[in-house]
Amino acid sequence: MSKEHIVIFDTTLRDGEQSPGASMNTEEKIQIASQLEKLGVDVIEAGFAAASPGDFDAIARIAQRVKNSTVCSLARALEKDIKAAGDAIAAAPKKRIHTFIATSPIHMEYKLRMKPDEVIKRAVEAVQYARTFVDDVEFSLEDAGRSEMGFMKEIIDATISAGAGTINIPDTVGILLPQEVAERIAELKAFIGNRAIISVHNHNDLGLAVANSLAAIQSGARQVECTINGLGERAGNAALEEIVMALKVRSDVFDNVETGINTREIYPTSRLIASITGIEPQPNKAIVGKNAFAHESGIHQDGVLKNKQTYEIFAPEEIGLDVNDTLVLGKHSGRAAFKDKLEKLGFTLDEEELNEAFARFKELADKKKDIYDDDLRALVTSQMTNIEKTWELVALQLMDSTGGVPSAAVTIRKNDGSEVTDAGIGDGTIDAVFKTIDRITGYHGLLKDYKVKSVSQGKDALASVTVQVAFNDNEPAVIGHGLSIDTMFASAKAYLGALNSYISMEGMLKKRPQGSGCNV
């Protein structure tokens, strides 16, 4: 029996980035898009082109890079949004415009202040205009979870006639239960037939996003919109990894459908997203949480030792996690072994990138006795997501004592090769470091968040520091990452990383148009 294809529509770069604190720079977005393509995602929603010049640039560069996945941009049902989306994705071999308008009574009355017939007219015009840029148009009924079925059928019929090939039914506020989703999708499937693909986009406000997505698939939906690690606004979106593995593990139930996802890339993709956003999946997160394959109970441990299937419904290797191969390399390891290990971890580097990574590995191996998989992931990820460095940390010297005044001496190299050294005091050691960097660079940042974690294990474990810094009151905070055995050095690198990201986007970071934030 031939199986029907489930389109995996990943919106990590759009809806996922709307998760508080998850903003990314352009180079990071390109790296994520490349990994999503490697994962086998069908559609990559690369962003919201009309939101800002920075978003437009990131989408345009992703469109130039991605060859196999469809590159999509979101757009409100407005001509200026749709034109921006069409222009941004123009270079993509496969491209889609995703346009939307709210259809629930509460949204139409209080947000749009439009009558139902006006909403249908706007939706039809949007789809028709989008078709002048692309053949592949998706139309979303924002807040479909609270929309009336009769009106949904009316606007769906009109937008399909106008040229929409995919109709998305979002549970924008995450209010529906699986049975309600199943009934709604079944009714819409009977109404639409084969005229368009039915898609769902479920939010996780009640913790039901994945369950609702699976219920929709059983009722005829053939596209699911989701994010890596379930990132997204409020409680997040349906988690891609959970949907895909549920379909695979329970193929006895979902015997008529399949995805094109390379599941062995799930764990590497999850780790990349976590490294870039600084948002770690909760330890007990299904599929990719650090405890997902941990067995503490004596009964469980005994069973797993005898036969892993007693308590593991799929092998960790299926998602690209080799739990028995974590202690890897040391200072005497050669380049060939290093390259082979990176390939096993899912990294494909060109010759220049490999040489740079190997040099960084050797530098780390001189300071750290044992290097683990997570060390290598962090090392390579920090390299691959680097933007052009306007400022680079050269040296850091700290002085602190009980009852004394914390001070820091910092040496920074500018991209013209010149070095500047200065010293300063602060309310604490980190405050002293950041204030000194501000004085040297001439930029003044406001620290919004600071996180430090151990990358692997041992007293010599790498410290990974993530900061969120606002350099302008009218612009969003920028994320910076730092990696070093020395936590304070990693902190200074993270702060400079945020500054370099800000400088790279400074000409494009402008206030988003009113209402450009989207919660489809």
Write down the residue that tokens 């474990």 correspond to. Answer: 461
Contacts of 336 (CB under 8 A, 6+ apart): none
> Residue 399: in which H helix or E strand, if any?
strand 391-399
SS3 (DSSP) at 383: helix
Contacts of 510 (CB under 8 A, 6+ apart): 52, 53, 475
Indicate the pairing of strand 327-329 with strand 95-102.
unpaired
Question: Which token pair is 435?
Answer: 């204030």
User: Do the Cβ atoms of 426 and 433 come closer than 8 Å?
Assistant: yes
Instruction: Look at residues 67, 73, 72 and name the one whose alpha carbon lies nearest to residue 34.
Output: 67
Q: How far is CA 394 from CA 217, 414, 460, in A?
A: 54, 10, 21
Q: Is 375 annotated as a binding residue?
A: no
Residue 315, Cα to own-chain centre: how many angstroms? 25
Q: Is 229 annotated as a binding residue?
A: no
The rounded distance, in Å, linking the Cα atoms of 372 and 138 is: 44
Instruction: Look at residues 271, 367, 364, 360 and name the one whose alpha carbon lies nearest to residue 320.
Output: 271
The rounded distance, in Å, linking the Cα atoms of 78 and 497 is: 36
Neighbours of 435 (CB within 10 A): 19
Q: Is 481 annotated as a binding residue?
A: no
SS3 (DSSP) at 34: helix
Q: Is 203 annotated as a binding residue?
A: yes
Amino acid at 135: D
The DSSP secondary-structure symbol of 518 reads: -
Amino acid at 78: L
Angle, vertex CA 241, rays to CA 6 and CA 451, nearest 5 = 145
Instruction: Look at residues 276, 279, 275, 248 and name the one whose alpha carbon lies nearest to residue 264.
Output: 248
Q: Which residues are annotated as a binding site?
A: 15, 201, 203, 237
Q: Which residues are annotated as a binding site for Mn(2+)?
A: 15, 201, 203, 237
